[in-house]
Every structure is written in structure tokens, then in C-alpha cells.
Structure 1
Amino acid sequence: MAQERTGVATLKGNPLTLVGNEVKVGDKAPDFQLNKDLMNQVSLSDYAGKVKLISVVPSLDTGVCDAQTRRFNEEAANLGDNVAVLTVSVDLPMAQARWCGAAGIDKVVTLSDYKTRNFGEAYGVLIKEVQLLMRSIFVIDANDTVQYVEYLGEMTNHPNYESAIEAVKKLV
């Protein structure tokens, strides 16, 4: 059974329970299985040899998640082909594709943890009470070592975009 962490996250001040171990800088990045669409999954190895910026959001259809994904899409255009910018949520893959089309998102790859919540537990971001993922950022180098982590304490806050992008730029 996965570890449960309390006292580390809130939604509008209300406490949340995160399921899974906290990932730390220097850790080997946990593997994952995420859906690209209803039938096809990807794992960490699908991005082998690339720097990975993983932006985790509760749902693309909310204001902060929308802004976060748009910001990283803009930044991705300047990071080069050796960087994979991934946005992970539990939104259904069809909803992610619809949202990306409407928002003009073309650089970020959206991946869904709807089926198993495997990513959520592996990265310690699964919210027990609502089965969504807590807003967080992970930067993983080309050798799959975690180089940057930001777990947000309050779900409605924005991540530190500049620090995350700087962490990626140091690796490319």
C-alpha cells in the first residue's frame, strides 16, 4: 500500500492527502504508464535521452491549469528538440485533445493518468480525496535523474515557471 502524506497540500485552505512517496532531486525518476489516447500508453523510456519537463495539473479545464499549460507550451518552442514538455492530468485523452485543439497547444504533449493513477502514486501527487493530481513540476535529465521538483502546497497557486525553465536550460 502506498504511503499517504498529510499536511503538505491544500485546496483553498482545505487539507488534502497525497498518495505516494515524495520524489526528491537526485532520485532516479519513477517509471510510469500514461495514456496518449484511449488505447496507447507511453512510459518514461519513450522519452529516453531527452530532458523531460513534466507539468502536472489537476484538470486542463480550470484557470490555473489552463494558464500553466499555455505558459509551458510557449516556453517549449524555445527549448529545442532534446526537451520533451509533458502535461499530465487525469482528464480523459479525448478531453485533453479537444482542449489542446481549442487552445492552440502544439508543443506540449498531454498525457492522461485516468486509467490507473500509476503516475500519481509513483510521483506522490495523487490526491486521495478527489482522485486528481496535485499541481507540481518535475524536471528530469536525459539519464532519468530528477533535477528539479516543485510540489505546490496550495492547488490554486501557480508554479514557479522561471525556476522550472531555468532547470531545463541548465541541462540542454
Structure 2
Amino acid sequence: MPKYTTNLSARGFRQLADDIRKYRLELQKKCDEFTRQLAEEGVAIAKANILSEDAIYTGELLNSMNIKPGDVIVNGASYHIYTACPWAKFVEFGTGIEGKENSHPDTSIIGWKYDVNNHGEKGWFYFKNGKWHWTKGMPSRPFMYNTASALRNTETITRIARRVFGED
């Protein structure tokens, strides 16, 4: 935060008020920019998580990661990191007995249930690319959960804050 000095004249106080007003507006813009950049970092982290978790089949999940402005909050902005991929939740939480044995770190987020059809070790068949395939489900690959954890990292926050607000 800059230091302000003034003399005890009316003109000096008007100038001080103008300087503080300009700083406040600049600070608001920087806070909005910080929030946007943090969200963009989240998209990059989510994509890296998808790649590292081998969660690529068609590229739809990877390419659907994006940000959108959230509700305007008092004196600030918010952004949402989201995916428009309809099957992202199955990758995030896993399915079947495989998902149950390799579950998501926090299934309470949406009340996720595994092996809801009680296939167990029998598994099930599905048709893909002109062939029948058998599965017992798939393990959780919590790319969004891990993204949220990474965004809470003090180093990530500090790096972006220094970029936006400067080293001062």
C-alpha cells in the first residue's frame, strides 16, 4: 500500500482524498484480475490433472474445462471453474466396484454412491466402437478435487498475488 502525505491545507486534503479514491479503484481492478488469474490457473491445473490421471478418451473432458464469472460479491469478483462434459462426474468419482475400492477423497460433496446396481464382482457389459466390453467400473480420478486442493496452496496464491499486485 502506498504511503500518502499532505499538508494541512484544504487543497492538500482534496488531493489526498483523490489519491486514495484512485488507489481504491485500482485495488478493486487488481482484486478482480487476481480472482480471474487464479481461476485460469485452476483450469490449467485441472487439465494437467486430467492428463496425469489418464482420463482422456475423446478429449471432450480436457477441452471442456473453462471458467465463467460467478455472482458479484461485495467488493470483489468470483469465478467458477467448470466442465461441460456430461460424464466428468464419473471420472471424478469413479463407478462400480472399482470406484468403491478406489473411491473419491470426499464422496459427501454430492452424495455419490458406488455400485448402485449391485453388479459387484460380476461387473457388466457395454457396447462401444462396435464391440462388447466388460467392466467392473473405474476408479475415482479426482481431477477437480485435486485442483481445488492445489488452488489452496499458499505458493500458488502468493505467486499470482505478486504478479498482479507487485512485490511491494
**TM-score normalised by structure 2 residue count:** 0.22
- The structure carrying a bigger strand percent of its residues is 1
**TM-score normalised by structure 1 residue count:** 0.22
The structure number with the bigger radius of gyration is 2
Q: Which one has more relative contact order, counting CA pairs under 8 Å at least 6 apart?
A: 1
- The structure carrying a bigger helix percent of its residues is 2
